[in-house]
Amino acid sequence: MNRRQFVQLSGMGAAFLSSRLAQGKIVSAEDLLMPGMDGSAKKHLADTALNAAKSKGATYADVRIGRYLRQYFFTKEMRVENIVNSESYGLGIRVIANGTWGFCATNDLSLDSIAKCAATAVAIAKANAEMQEEPVILAPQKGVGIQTWKTPITKNAFAIPVKDKIDLLMKVNGEAIKNGATFVNSNLFFINEQKYFASTDGSYIDQDVHRMWPTFTVTAVDKKAGKFKTRDALSAPIGMGYEYLDGLASEKMSILGKPTVYRFSYDMVEDAILAAQQAKEKLSAKTVVAGKYDMILDPSNLGLTIHESVGHPLELDRVLGYEANLAGTSFATMEKWESKTFEYGSKIVNFVADKTQPNTMAAVGYDDEGVPCKNWDLIKDGILVNYQATRDQVHILGEKESQGCSFADSWDSIQFQRMPNVSLQSGKEKYSVGDMIRDTEKGIYILGRGSSSIDQQRYNFQFSGQLFYEIKNGEIVGMLDNAAYQSNSQEFWNSCVKICDKDDYRLFGTLFDGKGQPGQSSAVSHGCSTSRFNGVNVINTGRKI
Amino acid sequence: MEILTREEAKKIIDKVLAFSKADEMSVELTGKRTGNIRFARNSVSTSGETYNLSLSITSVFGKKLGTSTVNEFDNASLEKAVRRSEEVARLAPENDEYLPMPGPQKYPESNGFLDSTAKLDPAQRAKFAKDSILTVRENKLTGAGFLEDSSGFEALGNSKGLFAYNKSTAVDFSITVRTADGMGSGYGSGDFNDSTLLDTKVSTNIAIQKAITSRGAKGFEPGKYTVILEPTAAGELISFMISAMDARTADEGRSFLSKKGGGTRIGEKLLDERITIYSDPSDKDIPAKPFSSEGLPLEKVVWFDKGVVKNMSYSRFWAKNKGVKPILQPEGFIMEGGTESLADLIKGTDKGILVTRFWYTRWLDPQTLLYTGLTRDGTFYIENGQIKHPVKNFRFNESPVIMLNNLEAIGKPVRTRGNMVPPLKIRDFTFSSLSDAV
């Protein structure tokens, strides 16, 4: 594709630009492929910032030089509504002075501006020190010198011609309509974070992070009956390149002839065809009878439940009260962890935090405090054994080094504790989804992400889904509608009786997990295999107005 | 960053328009300063300030559009940005839904800019935080809060002679106070255009009182209860309803305002006759920007009149398609109420539940506007006109449409989250389960 074709297609979207989504300067698609500043130039700017901060009295300083590239596609039926190409570039400096954090950011990368920004960060720290009850205690982190890291992709999504992406979405929409959808919206989201980190510890780390998410919603309307139903894509937001859209048959699974699910390669067109057919089927689905059911939850559904009922409650900043005014605190309090006996789940429940797992969205080489990434147990044989923490928190856990959970969503945002990939470990014995359905007498099999809500300490939750299949005596007997499951996080994970093996392991995730004031979003993946939870309360959400 | 005056903004926009070779061109110039301070565990955790000034240019040839942005304001940069938007427009495919730009318009007055807020500096911000933190510390409790202030302007101009300018300020504060044993939690907040109206001690004392009195909550069975929703709680559910009043989705059969068999529910009495909701950018309590992103005037619109669906929002394209006047989504809404205060509503209640605010409210069914979420930071049992004791938090499954048909009493509107909302007394509000969260 030549420059003019790029401009043509990117300009079409820019005309409908949503500044909230763009989060940066609008650029042509080809600008997204331009190389950023080279490493030596970044090091020069970073050293300027670090030296300026130290000269003003900082006892510690780190600097992040970020280039954030985004390309988003929005379509409706056979129209391209919007394409957003954006670039955001600048530098953020964080310091400790008088035992208190200070921060300043600028998009002016002149040496004078950087020095001024560093001085401002130190001044803010000193001003806020008056209200500081305890000084910041930072876990030691040996400098790692000059390092680079890149998401292992095989196809850079930004190098794929815009026209090819539009052709794909038009095919998705066309096939959905051909197969019974009344309306269809489809989207592609591509993100590339080029992040340079340096600190007074002696680290200079250049990272190139790629993430993507293809998705859609089809709607089937029955005007005569006054009803409409939707079905969202069963894709996963993922830490991969454009190769995720190759649609490899080897990564596809059909469950007892009913739904089709995808592992590390997604067939968007096929899923849209199935979605259209299933949305129509939902219009005449049987309304669920409220009561207790054995729930079989596909990773495309269970992933969100993991995120809300395990990922968030084990964030140490929440446990300590730093998020109390917005996101809330946590039921997984320190004394429960200290007891070493708190039964978070049944004995088969094992959760691992892992920022090194391939294809996941929180995978990086180093976090935004320069800490090398790793993995560790959160829940072992059902017992709560650890949290997620940053350099200034980890001493509270009696640990000598950070767990590497610091992240900022932009160069002008302050890094703070964000969730790593939090994943449920697969069952050790060979056990398929088909086996699980055959072993269930009265159950509901749920796929896809639906409505979700959980309280501010992460006890009481209610989740819905995209597809609900009724199971009677080991067989899928039909589709259900208006179902949502309610539980308490601890009760729910203690009702986990069976987990399929690693052959069924798939990823779920979110590109836009919100937290903090001012709000920031982060991307994270949750892996698991299909799991069964016995005796869960199901409610009927059907109402009339 | 200085807030550009109307004249300064117009001068830049006119200069850009003079460079145009397109059939039509529109120019948007915006500038904003935001400042914030966040605290938790009775100490400041983060604080910062940001500035932004940018210009967006859209050129049109026939039905082909192209946009470029620039944040450098010398003549060469501006002309380069114009040429780039024209280059993009010439190459773009036609947009079937494009309508020619509107000409000059008249706008109602909006008084949302206050010097007091525009001049807020880090020291004043720290003082607001300190007033709150010290009040919490004196009571041996733990506070987490956030203050954010902003000032800015927006100017629009196009080649058809349209020009619009507005400047505004805002300050928002919220605090959650928790007891040392973690068994009590209370919330207070305030949002204004004028920072002199904000007293963080007042909001903090409300949160303190709620935190202390919410200790020792008793569990009630889920079910249908009479509730008194404080304005923050009521406003959240009603704002979801107002933002779902798009005419196109109703005409397409996928809205709570779609009629069985086709058509919409406009003109139908959908809510209790005491419910009148409107928007008005000139309102003295919630002044808003008086024009849309295309420069159309935002005027007073009555959405529900005595319970009847009076208007839905129509984009310019859909309005032309349907032969009606465009009506645009409001920035805030005003719900009419009575004269009774929250305390009066409590006094007049034999048995009921008082709800401070909701949390994690999400849709369950767009067709019935059914939402689920939880109560938080102060839920109390009322008996014989008095708050008897705290109760454990509930999950609700409820639709604002159903809720506003079960209206028992309506109080005096107050400003909350940019809207004017009265406290509401509602019968048969559906609580579907209990939560142990404090």
Q: What is the mean pLDDT of chain A?
A: 93
**Min distance A131 CA to chain B CA atoms (Å):** 5
- Reported as half-sphere exposure (CB side, CA atoms, 13 A), residue B175 has a value of 36
Contact A91, A65 (CB under 8 A): yes
Q: How far is it, in rounded angstroms, from Cα B408 to Cα B388?
A: 20
Identify residue B255 by its one-letter amino acid code.
Answer: S
- For residue B53, which phi and psi values (nearest 5 degrees)? -135, 125
B130–A131 CB contact, under 8 Å: yes
Read off the pLDDT band of A2 (50, 70, 90).
very low
Q: How far is it, in rounded angstroms, from Cα B413 to Cα A443?
A: 48
- Mean per-residue pLDDT, B254-268: 95
Contact B413, B334 (CB under 8 A): yes
A17–B56 CB contact, under 8 Å: yes
A517–B146 CB contact, under 8 Å: yes
- Could you tell me which chain A residue has the CA closest to the CA of B360? A453
Read off the pLDDT band of A8 (50, 70, 90).
very low
Exposed (0-12), middle (13-18) or buried (19+): which is A534, by Cβ within 10 Å?
middle
Place of tokens 């420069």: B295
DSSP states along A280-292:
HHHHTPEEPPPEE
Distance linking the first and last C-alpha atoms of chain B:
42
- Reported as half-sphere exposure (CB side, CA atoms, 13 A), residue A97 has a value of 26
Read off the pLDDT band of A7 (50, 70, 90).
very low
Read off the pLDDT band of B1 (50, 70, 90).
low
Residues A321/A324/A328/A333 CA torsion (nearest 10 deg): 20
Q: How far is it, in rounded angstroms, from Cα B249 to Cα A228?
A: 11
Of A211, A489, A510, A515, the C-alpha closest to A364 is A211
The SS3 call for residue A462 is strand
B142–A321 CB contact, under 8 Å: yes
DSSP states along B365-426:
ETTTTEEEEEEEEEEEEEETTEEEEEB--EEEEE-HHHHTTSEEEE---EEETTEEE--EEE
Size of interface A-B (CB pairs under 8 A): 231
- Could you tell me which chain A residue has the CA closest to the CA of B374? A455
B360–A453 CB contact, under 8 Å: yes
**Min distance A248 CA to chain B CA atoms (Å):** 33
Q: How far is it, in rounded angstroms, from Cα B279 to Cα B274?
A: 17
- Could you tell me which chain A residue has the CA closest to the CA of B262? A223
Read off the pLDDT band of A13 (50, 70, 90).
very low
- Could you tell me which chain A residue has the CA closest to the CA of B40? A322
B370–A543 CB contact, under 8 Å: yes
> Which range (A360-364, B88-92, B136-140, B245-249) has the least confidence?
B88-92
Contact A220, A283 (CB under 8 A): yes
Residues A282/B362/A188/A186 CA torsion (nearest 10 deg): 30
A518–B71 CB contact, under 8 Å: no
A18 pLDDT higher than 80 = no
Place of tokens 């859909």: B318
Contact A486, B432 (CB under 8 A): yes
pTM of the predicted protein model: 0.94
Rg of the Cα atoms in chain A? 24
In the structure encoding, which two tokens stand for residue B358, read together? 């909701």
In the structure encoding, which two tokens stand for residue B20, read together? 């145009």
Contact B297, B254 (CB under 8 A): no
A324–B40 CB contact, under 8 Å: yes
- Could you tell me which chain A residue has the CA closest to the CA of B258? A226
pLDDT of residue B206: 97
Q: How far is it, in rounded angstroms, from Cα B186 to Cα B177?
A: 5
Q: Specify which residues B246 forms β-bridges with.
A: B313
Q: How far is it, in rounded angstroms, from Cα A497 to Cα B188?
A: 43
- For residue B188, which phi and psi values (nearest 5 degrees)? -145, 150
- For residue A80, which phi and psi values (nearest 5 degrees)? -90, 115
- Could you tell me which chain A residue has the CA closest to the CA of B94? A12
Of B83, B107, B112, B94, the C-alpha closest to B22 is B83
Identify residue A233 by its one-letter amino acid code.
Answer: A
Partner residue facing B41 (CB), from A183, A219, A321: A321
Contact A40, A136 (CB under 8 A): no
- Could you tell me which chain A residue has the CA closest to the CA of B90? A8
In the structure encoding, which two tokens stand for residue B66, read together? 């192209």
Q: How far is it, in rounded angstroms, from Cα A448 to Cα A465?
A: 5
Of B356, B340, B307, the C-alpha closest to B409 is B340
Residues in chain B within 8 Å Cβ distance of A104: 48
Residue of B67, B85, B316 to mutate, interface with A, max A Cβ within 10 Å: B67
CB count in 10 Å sphere of residue B222: 16
DSSP B301: E
- Mean per-residue pLDDT, A427-455: 97
Residues in chain B within 8 Å Cβ distance of A455: 359-360, 374, 376, 393, 395, 435, 437
**Min distance A483 CA to chain B CA atoms (Å):** 10
The SS3 call for residue B53 is strand
B134 pLDDT higher than 60 = yes
Q: How far is it, in rounded angstroms, from Cα A325 to Cα A323?
A: 6
pLDDT of residue A3: 46
- Mean per-residue pLDDT, A370-399: 97
Distance linking the first and last C-alpha atoms of chain A:
52
Q: How far is it, in rounded angstroms, from Cα A64 to Cα A46?
A: 8
pLDDT of residue A362: 98
- For residue A483, which phi and psi values (nearest 5 degrees)? -105, 145
A9 pLDDT higher than 70 = no
Residues in chain A within 8 Å Cβ distance of B368: 542-545
DSSP A426: P
**Min distance A492 CA to chain B CA atoms (Å):** 14
A223–B96 CB contact, under 8 Å: no
In the structure encoding, which two tokens stand for residue B154, read together? 């927006």
Residue of A86, A128, A392 to mutate, interface with B, max B Cβ within 10 Å: A128
B40–A322 CB contact, under 8 Å: yes
How many separate helices (H) and strands (E) can be counted in chain A? 11, 28
- For residue B26, which phi and psi values (nearest 5 degrees)? -125, 150
**Min distance B364 CA to chain A CA atoms (Å):** 6
In the structure encoding, which two tokens stand for residue A398, read together? 């009696």
CB count in 10 Å sphere of residue A178: 11
Q: How far is it, in rounded angstroms, from Cα B269 to Cα B328?
A: 22
Contact B417, B191 (CB under 8 A): yes
Q: How far is it, in rounded angstroms, from Cα A197 to Cα A141?
A: 14
- For residue A459, which phi and psi values (nearest 5 degrees)? -90, -70
pLDDT of residue A258: 78
B135 pLDDT higher than 80 = yes
pLDDT digits (tens, 9 = 90+) for A282-330: 999 999 999 999 999 999 999 999 999 999 999 999 999 999 999 999 9
pLDDT digits (tens, 9 = 90+) for A496-524: 999 999 999 999 999 999 999 999 999 99
**Min distance A253 CA to chain B CA atoms (Å):** 29
Q: How far is it, in rounded angstroms, from Cα A10 to Cα A14?
A: 6
- Mean per-residue pLDDT, B200-211: 98
Residue of B47, B63, B356 to mutate, interface with A, max A Cβ within 10 Å: B47
pLDDT of residue A261: 96
- Mean per-residue pLDDT, A471-479: 97
Greatest Cα-to-Cα distance within chain B, rounded to the nearest angstrom: 73
pLDDT of residue A14: 43
pLDDT of residue A24: 73
pLDDT digits (tens, 9 = 90+) for A409-437: 999 999 999 999 999 999 999 999 999 99
Of B232, B174, B184, B172, the C-alpha closest to B208 is B184
Q: How far is it, in rounded angstroms, from Cα A406 to Cα A415?
A: 6
Read off the pLDDT band of A6 (50, 70, 90).
very low
pLDDT of residue A23: 60
State ipTM: 0.92
Q: Are strands A351-354 and A291-297 parallel, antiparallel or unpaired?
A: unpaired
Which H, E and C letters describe B141-167, residue by residue?
CEEEEEEEEEEEEEEEEECCCCEEEEE
pLDDT digits (tens, 9 = 90+) for B337-367: 999 999 999 999 999 999 999 999 999 999 9
Q: What's the gap between Cα B116 and its chain centre?
A: 22
In the structure encoding, which two tokens stand for residue A260, read together? 């089709």
**E-strand stretches of A307-366:** 351-354
Read off the pLDDT band of B103 (50, 70, 90).
very high
- Could you tell me which chain B residue has the CA closest to the CA of A80? B95
A21 pLDDT higher than 60 = no
Residues in chain A within 8 Å Cβ distance of B356: none
Cβ-proximal residues to A20 (8 Å cutoff; 6+ apart), any chain: none
A168 pLDDT higher than 80 = yes
Q: How far is it, in rounded angstroms, from Cα A11 to Cα A17?
A: 10
- Mean per-residue pLDDT, A127-154: 94
Contact B145, A326 (CB under 8 A): no
- Could you tell me which chain B residue has the CA closest to the CA of A331? B437
Contact A359, A264 (CB under 8 A): yes
Residue of B82, B176, B431 to mutate, interface with A, max A Cβ within 10 Å: B176
Partner residue facing A486 (CB), from B174, B260, B433: B433
Buried b (16+ CB within 10 A) or exposed e, A230-268: bbbbbbbbbbbbbebbeeeeebbbebeebbbbbbbbbbb
